[in-house]
Structure formats: C-alpha cells, structure tokens
Amino acid sequence: MTEPLKGIRVLDLTNVLAGPYCCYQLALMGAEVIKVERPGTGDLARVLGADPTRNAAGMGVSYLAQNAGKKSVTLDLKSEQGKTLLKSLVRSADVLVENFRPGVMARLGLGYDVLRKENTSLIYCAISGFGQDGPRKDDPAYDQIVQGVSGVMSITGAEDTAPYRVGYPLADTIGGLTAAFAITTALNATPRGAFLDISMTEAVLSTMGWVVSNHLIAGQTATPMGNENMTSAPSGTFQTADNPINIAANRDEQWEALVRHLDREDLLERPEFATRKNRKANRHVLRATLEDTLMCRPSAEWVQELNALGVPAGPVLSVPEALGDPQVQTRGLVGTVTLDKSELKLAGSPVVLNGARPMPQTAPPILGADNDTIWAELGLSPSDIDRLKEERVI
C-alpha cells in the first residue's frame, strides 16, 4: 500500500518547485518519475540553496528537497532529435508534467495536441502561475508574484505591517499539491487521457475558503489581523514568561475555563468581554489583559494545563524545534537516503497509508544519471547514445 502508483510512468519536465514538488509526491507513492532536464545545466534548483559546495556540484539543497526517488535524463527539446526522443518517451508514459509558460511547449511543437497523437491515454498536466489563458497568462509565475496576485499578502501580517509574504513558497507548494491531486484523479478516469490546466493562483484562492466566502457571500473584505483569529477571541498568539503560545478559546465554555484557570473570573463580569462579539471587538485589550497573567509562568506549563482543561493551546516552534518535536519524531516524517556515501535527511509523504508512510528510497539523481538506461530502453545503441551526448542532444 505504500506504492499505490507503482507501474505508472511520469515524465517530469518541470523546474524549481511547483512541478518538481508535484512529481515528488507521485514518486513517493510509487510512480516511476523520469526527470527530463536540459543538457549541461538541468533544473535551476540544482544551483540553489544554502550550501555553496552542493550548488557548485549541481546538487543544491533546493533541488534535493523534492527530487528524491526520481530518475534523470537530459534532452534538448529545441533539437529535432530531441523532440523525436521525447515523443518516444511519451509513448511509454502515463503522465507528463510541465511548468513552462503557457504556449512554450506548443511553440516547440510538443504541445498536448501533438503528444496525444503519440499516446491517446496521456495525462498532460500544465502548471502555470495563472492558467493557460486569460490576460495574465504570460506573466512570470514566481511564488511571491502569485502570493501578491492571489490576495494572500493582503491578509498576512498585522495592520501596520501588511502586505506580508508567507515565509515559505506557499503558492508553489499548493500548486504542486493541486497538480498531484488532479493527476491521481485523472489516472482513475476511464478512458484515460486528459489535459490538466493548473493555475497556482487559483489553487491558492481555493484554499482561502472562509476569506473568499466572506467576500462572495457576506460582502466582507478580509483585513490583516496579525496573529489574531478573525472568527473569535481570545484566539491567537500570547506571550508567556519565556516563549509565545497559541490559545484558541473559541467557545464560551473554553473562554470561561481559561479565565478561571488564570484566576481572572472578574473578566466574566466586564461588559466588553461578556459576549463573543464583544470579545472580538475588544480583542487587543483582552489579549494584553490575559498576558499580564500568562507572562508569570513558562509556556510549557500553560500549554499542558490549558489542554488538560479543554482549552486548545500549543507552542510556537521554530522549524528545527518542529522537526525535533516528539510528535513529528514519533510519526517518522523524516527519513534518510544515501547520497555520496553519506546520509541525506528528507521529508517523506505527508500521507500515512494503512499505518505506513511512503518514504524516498533513492537519493535525488545527478544530472543525466539515467541517460544510458532510459535511452537504451527506447532502442538506442551505446554508439547512438555517445553520439547524442557529443552533439548535446542528451
């Protein structure tokens, strides 16, 4: 059950993050993912990341993060021989994923209409910033650009700091997950064969459920609220004696349990806090009032005690702390593969299947690592492969 996509061949023509992340999820589920890269340079992410030595070797940390379990071939899609070889690969594939700007594959003579003649069952997934049509279709699809266009930045941060970018490539990741979901859905269709148009902007907007619905249905425009929960109070981030914690006392009984535990029953009698609506209207005064008590003791004690009372609470952790948290460690999100005779730690699938988490089994490939094997499968002789390498077709 940890390889439900075993036997599925995916051609990964993508770069950097949204597409590679999509294909990484498919590889984790057992698909054979062949990364088709430009000769000599490959995926741009190969030279990106915090380790200059790895960047220089074409194995940058940004590349390593979402390319384990894949194979790599090189191919010049601008050459006629390269186009012929891609068509041969397509005939053996179930899925092709690309994240070029709309129209690039068509201009190369390798668009969906052409490739489906080679394989009528092909699932062709095109990931772009804004979709394959519309006035923005040719705009660059960088994560930060999409975060701005999607409205995410307008509601991130506080009133005096917004607009703020979410601190990781949110749009790329959500776009990649959406594409992986669409591909697995299309794999279950009968007959197979589809063109999937994935817009990173639309993928992000679709995850902004309450924010979008409050506007569409209730006519309310969301505003940046920092660490406060727009639907309730006290619900947000609070300072303690050492570290901040999150508290979500969204229900009246949770609010009452909270103030009683803080020995602040007097707050129950104050009219500005008497109802949920009043607490929301006076949230900042309420937070400061509660912090007067919360700052007397450390975060770990408050989290344990409040959760025991049925008042949802949790620590605010750094990334290293989150990865080292006993909950994450116990469930085994991070696994290891061997790269250059050393262990490389990577995050596995976010999905646990029947008690087992799909994990990468092989390290991310060096550029063109599988040229000899894959091209030989298509009938090329060793001399053909050597000639194509010399001509930089592969």
Positions marked active-site = 172
Mapping DSSP to helix (H, G, I), strand (E, B) and coil, where does residue 67 land? Answer: coil
Give the other-Cβ count within 10 Å of 71's Cβ.
Answer: 20
| Residue among 24, 36, 28 nearest 5 (CA) | 28
Q: Who contacts 313 (Cβ-Cβ below 8 Å, separation ≥6)?
A: 245, 246, 247, 248, 302, 303, 306, 307
**Contact (CB, 8 A) for 93 and 122:** yes
CA angle 42, 48, 54 (to 5 degrees): 85
Name the packing angle between helices 209-216 and 200-207 (round to 10°).
80
Query: How is residue 63 written in tokens?
Result: 């590349």
**Contact (CB, 8 A) for 120 and 190:** no
Q: Who contacts 189 (Cβ-Cβ below 8 Å, separation ≥6)?
A: none
Q: What are the φ and ψ backbone dihedral angles of 279, each rounded to 5 degrees? A: -65, -40
Mapping DSSP to helix (H, G, I), strand (E, B) and coil, where does residue 364 land? Answer: coil
